[in-house]
Amino acid sequence: MSSQSDIVAVRLGVAKPSASIAAKARADAMRTAGREIIDFTVGEPDFPTPAYIVDAGVNALRQGHTRYTASAGTAELRTAIARKLMRENRLHYEANEIVVGCGAKQIIFNAFMASLNNGDEVIIPAPYWVSYPEMVLINGGVPKIVRCGAQDGFKIHATALERAITPRTKWLVLNSPNNPTGAVYSAADLRALGDVLHAHPHVHIMTDEIYEHFVYGGEKHVCLLNASPTLRSRTLLINGLSKSHAMTGWRIGYGAGQASLVNAIVLLITQSTTCAGAAAQAAAAVALDGPIKGVTDTTQMFESRRNRLVERLAQIDGIHCNTPNGAFYVFASVAGLIGRETRAGKLLETDVDVAEFLREEGGVVTIDGTSYGLSPFLRFSFAKPMSEIDRGCDAIAAAVSRLEPL
């Protein structure tokens, strides 16, 4: 007799659904139920794709870009990516070292699928983007989580990296600017990590730079390969247009790395999705060659929103945060709310409890730090209009003021 659950592979028993997608779904469901909510979970720019990119996509469709493309991505897009990497990152890649996917997410997933043997270890600094450990688990690997607290600037440092490496280590995942903390690795940080990695030639490095343009306060994004160029042959650089060009729904991301790994990823694409959408690829090529001004204007706008969110959160009793240097998230400590009690008599024991309390009491939706591998924190996105940030902070302050006095 087969039951419903027999259909699901044992392999999937190890994986959780994405916490950020689940939180967004919860926010949407509350809204549909008529509840007024303020949603701080957004993981994408809050404005549409710039018109010149949309026009490029529409024109591509009209011109007949309606068929399959090469599985690695069109030659036009791959050469536009190579130009971008040279122009913006001073990195030289040939087109055959670049693969285009349905979002950076597909490239990361396929890179793990293409490279992990059962039991291979992947070092993931926490807090981390929620999908890394799950992707590793689904593909038979073992996530080696290294906790990087606020005192470390939420970054992995050389000694912690050295300690985490074993003979089974296959990858180190670096993500700068970071989701969920906004931490940005400096050239010195990366050189120090590079020194450790040089001594361990079996370790590959995945560097996820999808937030590279969103860096604030005069900080600069530095690619690991600018700091440690000799790591190039074992580094897979991940990037995409979702965040930089407000193109999350177009699903275009890419990887650049050694040809043997890129070919293995392409093999998986040929046997799974065939290729990314043809018109989306045409639009992405135009976007990458387009004016950078749109992106820098967005960065300025995000910086003022970041400043407002940090300033407002700092005024709320029990919440504490440092100012993040990049991405569009604030990872705020709620240690000061743990142990408080609601008027209904519920004790706030974890950041999951705090997130639930703010959702139910204040109509404010955030994501708990537990989901990102570090507690007690909440992630707030500032990819939202200033007025919403203000309204959200007003609602949080009001909800917190209704907790039982200490």
Ligand X SMILES: Cc1ncc(COP(=O)(O)O)c(C=O)c1O
* Contact set with ligand X (CB under 6 A): 43, 103-105, 129, 175, 179, 208, 210, 240, 242, 248, 253
Strand pairing of 121-126 and 253-256? unpaired
Select 104 or 365, whichever has its Cβ closest to ligand X. 104
Q: What is d(CA 389, CA 380) in angstroms, rounded to the nearest whole number?
A: 10
**Comparison of 241 and 393: residue with beta carbon closer to ligand X:** 241
Classify 325 as helix, strand or coil.
Answer: coil
Residues 6+ apart with CB under 8 A from 44: 242, 243, 246, 248, 383
Q: How far apart are CA 172 and CA 204, in angstroms?
A: 6
Q: CB neighbours (10 Å) of residue 219?
A: 12
Judged by DSSP in three states, 250 sits in: helix
CB 344, min distance to ligand X, A: 34
Q: How far apart are CA 129 and CA 23, in angstroms?
A: 14
C-beta of 100 vs 282, nearer to ligand X: 100
Determine the straight-line distance between the first and last CA of the chain, rounded to whole angstroms. Answer: 56
CA atoms within 13 A on the CB side of 107: 31
Taking the complex as a whole, the smallest distance from the CB of residue 254 to ligand X amounts, in Å, to 9
Unique residue bearing structure tokens 């450790």 = 196
* Minimum distance, C-beta of residue 49 to ligand X, in the bound complex (Å): 13
To ligand X, the closest distance from the beta carbon of 337 in angstroms equals 26
Pick between residue 47 and residue 195 the one whose CB is nearest to ligand X.
Answer: 47
- Smaller CB separation from ligand X, 228 or 381: 381
Nearer to ligand X, 182 or 363 (CB): 182
Q: How far is the CB of 263 from ligand X (least distance, A)?
A: 21
Shortest reach from residue 113's CB to ligand X, in Å: 15
Residue 43 or 326 with smaller CB distance to ligand X: 43
Q: Where are the beta strands (DSSP E) in 46-148?
A: 98-101, 121-126, 142-147
Rounded to a whole number of angstroms, the minimum distance from the CB of residue 315 to ligand X is: 28
Residue 341 bridge partners (DSSP):
347
Cα distances (angstroms) measured from residue 356 to each of 7, 319, 321, 342: 33, 15, 20, 11
Of 298 and 362, nearer to ligand X (C-beta) is 298
Cβ neighbors of 284 (< 8 A, separation 6 or more) are 53, 77, 80, 100, 241, 245, 247, 250, 252
Q: Give least dist CB 62 to ligand X, A.
A: 26
CA angle 203, 174, 188 (to 5 degrees): 95
Which C-beta is closer to ligand X: that of 71 or that of 242?
A: 242
Instruction: Find the shortest distance in angstroms from Cβ 227 to ligand X.
Output: 19
